[in-house]
Structure 1
Amino acid sequence: MANEPDPDRLRALEAKLAGKKGAKVEPAGTGKDFSQAEVAWRMVLELTSGIMIGGSIGYGLDYLAGTKPILLIVFILFGFAAGIRTVIGTARDMQERQMRAASAQTKADGSAGTEG
């Protein structure tokens, strides 16, 4: 069919338009933004998995060494600390993404206001 658009020409046109606007061209489907619920579940899983891994290591070492509650408690605390550290890192990454998105939006709003 002669009336159907050529996908290669459309991509080239989008890239050219984005270059004129100063925007970064990103093919559809490459970047995934996570919802806040997904990020919250990720943080919960990171925290609980740290505690569970620490508890498992502590229980195993207690079983081998014959010191039942000591190493279990110590490694649960280590797992909790590791989980908190991972959650803080995830929160920091999310904050940086939001700051970049906000500055890009501000930059786009500022450039749109000066073109008119």
Structure 2
Amino acid sequence: MVDPVDKERLRQLDARIAELKRAQQPEKRHQDEHYSQANIAWRMVTELVAGLGIGFGIGYGLDSLFGTMPLFLVLFVFLGFAAGIKTMLRTAEEVRRKQSADKAGDDGDQA
């Protein structure tokens, strides 16, 4: 049988070990940060190209339907470009908010 005093000492030891393990978490390497930034950049490029592609598809479809070849194509390519830029800006804002929250969380841990 385990003595209640020994149980308490073991619980305290477990708590200290867990605290030390949390303190020794590896910091984010620069390569990981760079890889994350590359993912964000590719996401933004994909959003822009998707907007252009969708605009091109809609414009070409409408021009084929109505027989006004360059009119809707040009119009919807510009609208797709604008939508892609708007989506990219939304992504950039989301990333900025996340980085600000992470930085604020890191500052709070150090205090």
**TM-score where L is the length of structure 1:** 0.66
Partner of 2:92: 91
**Quick one: distance in 1 between partners of 2:54 and 2:38?**
24
Displacement, 1:54? 0.3
Runs of 4+ in 1 over 4 A off after TM superposition: none
Higher helix share: 2
**Quick one: distance in 1 between partners of 2:64 and 2:85?**
27
Partner of 2:108: 107
Any residues of structure 2 matched to 1:1-116 within 5 Å, and which?
35-110=36-111
Displacement, 1:53? 0.5
**Quick one: distance in 1 between partners of 2:78 and 2:99?**
31
Matched length: 83
Residues 59-96 of structure 1: CA deviation (Å, up to 9, x unaligned) = 00000000000100000000001000100000000000
**TM-score where L is the length of structure 2:** 0.69
Displacement, 1:109? 0.8
- CA RMSD in angstroms comes to 2.1
**Quick one: distance in 2 between partners of 1:43 and 1:59?**
24
Gaps of 5+ in 2: 1-13, 20-32
**Quick one: distance in 1 between partners of 2:107 and 2:40?**
25
Residues 44-66 of structure 1: CA deviation (Å, up to 9, x unaligned) = 00000100100010000000000
**Greater Rg by CA:** 2
- What percentage of aligned pairs have identical amino acids? 43
